[in-house]
Copies of this chain bind each other. A is one copy, B any other.
Amino acid sequence: MPPKPLDYESINENVKRAQYAVRGELYLRASELQKEGKKIIFTNVGNPHALGQKPLTFPRQVVALCQAPFLLDDPNVAVLFPADAIARAKHYLSLTTGGLGAYSDSRGLPGIRKEVAEFIYRRDGYPSDPELIYLTDGASKGVMQILNTIIRGQGDGVLVPVPQYPLYSATIALLGGSLVPYFLEETANWGLDVNELRQSVTEARYKGITVRAMVIINPGNPTGQCLSEANLREVLQFCYQENLVLLGDEVYQQNIYQDERPFVSSKKVLMDMGPPISKEVQLVSFHTVSKGYWGECGQRGGYFEMTNIPPETVDEIYKVASVSLSPNVPAQIFMGLMVNPPKPGDISFDQYARESKGILDSLRRRARLMTDGFNSCRNVVCNFTEDIMHDCLCLGAMYSFPQIRLPPRAIEAAKQAGKVPDVFYCLKLLEATGISTVPGSGFGQKEGIFHLRTTILPAEEEMPAIMSSFKKFNDEFMEQYEDHRGYSRM
């Protein structure tokens, strides 16, 4: 009997090639253990509400009213909802034709795209055109759609940072393109070095690959680095010289836990540079309702903004978006609320501001707690803390990405178990403590150097216990595998 079309042997090879460690072996094992009754702390994915973060009240009130528009005619509505939430719900419903149950335009509701454009204008100081903003079911879908437009086949390359969030590697594999890695430099706070970029492009060309796009994640996942304006300028200059589209993944733009280096968007830097670069470099920037202090991951809302993309291509992207009809409408409303939150003087402003600040402040404290916790562990180095006092540029996003210096005997034991060394370590950590992390190999790392990634999202009050359970496991692991006759900390 020949294999059937959906038998493993005969499915699309690109599907098999795609790897996605964030929900990979570690996650699957953690899910199994959870089913068996073990308490699991899921720090494998940046999913704040799953770890107890409360949603912001005002946006939830507005979307609840949009879902139940009949409440707006109920004389008792004011018993449960403040007047500004009621007004906002009416506003957003007026931007739809038929409420949340109707497909919107495939690019998203025009009125919300306008609010996004106004937000970008306020943020960057440069006008933004709603016709070049497309709403999506989360940033992921936007990234996939743009990569699908760019990648024509194996000969097309995309520069992706290493370590990277594996959405990029997985999507490039799925689309049959070539990933062209460039390394971020751990010893320089995961900085981005343009010479490294140049070398990556040269090597790719040598292999016959046309490099067509470059991805930056800023602030970084998993590394948390925040790129400086000067660095972004170099990147844009490089894209100009090399004829690359820049994909700016800026989903963590609200997640910065230091004051020295505020977020600057790629779009602003591009515009600041003036012609010819500001008129020539093609840029697509991504944002989401999943991150920031919103954390509305389950709603699946995002947008991308296109700069210097010609209208015929914009139309093609529109056409392909139309095939799946429309991004989900409730999340479009969340996006509207995120870019246009309550203002001082609004009834709900104080509560909104208090809730947002509470979340951000706590994230900031947790980022520190974790970094310090990791640095107190044997053979674990996180963000080169000696620098942190002076230069805490890695405190962005929602992750900690400590280096785990595995002793040779641990590496040997992993090999015997048929596991990549950091997978071996993370599995043992999971079994011992219930902490579900992602091995550094899922994001990419230099040969022979190992990491793990956790989110900084467990509840603040649980953090000390988690960190001490981690330390206990780690220090025992190191004790077990260290060669007491010679191996020492690097």
Q: How far is the CB of A155 from chain B (nearest CB, A)?
A: 12
Cβ-defined partner of A64 (8 Å) among B16, B19, B65, B212 = B65
Task: Please tell me if A324 contacts chain B, counting CB pairs below 8 Å.
Answer: yes
Residue of B at shortest CB range from A300? B328
Q: Are B18 and A299 in contact (CB under 8 A)?
A: no
Task: Please tell me if A258 contacts chain B, counting CB pairs below 8 Å.
Answer: no
Size bin of chain A's contact surface: 35 or more
How far is it, in angstroms, between the C-alpha of A104 and the C-alpha of B324 when the chains are bound?
21
Q: How far is the CB of A365 from chain B (nearest CB, A)?
A: 21
Chain A contacts with B in 299-330, Cβ cutoff 8 A? 299-300, 308-310, 312-313, 316, 319-320, 322-330
Chain A contacts with B in 1-57, Cβ cutoff 8 A? 2, 4-8, 10-13, 15-16, 18-20, 22-24, 31, 45, 47-53, 55, 57
Task: Please tell me if A149 contacts chain B, counting CB pairs below 8 Å.
Answer: yes
Task: Please tell me if A331 contacts chain B, counting CB pairs below 8 Å.
Answer: yes
Q: Are B298 and A18 in contact (CB under 8 A)?
A: no
Number of copies: 2
Write 13 A-B pairs (CB below 8 A) sorted by A numbering: A5-B243, A6-B313, A8-B312, A12-B148, A47-B103, A48-B98, A50-B102, A53-B101, A60-B67, A67-B67, A76-B80, A141-B324, A148-B174
Chain A positions within 8 Å of B, measured between CB atoms, are 2, 4-8, 10-13, 15-16, 18-20, 22-24, 31, 45, 47-53, 55, 57, 60-61, 63-65, 67-71, 74, 76-77, 79-80, 96-106, 137-138, 140-141, 144, 148-152, 166-167, 170-171, 174, 212-213, 243-245, 280, 282, 284, 290, 295-300, 308-310, 312-313, 316, 319-320, 322-331
Q: Given contact pairs A23-B322, A53-B98, enumerate 5 new A-B contacts (beta carbons under 8 Å).
A: A5-B243, A45-B103, A137-B300, A137-B328, A170-B320
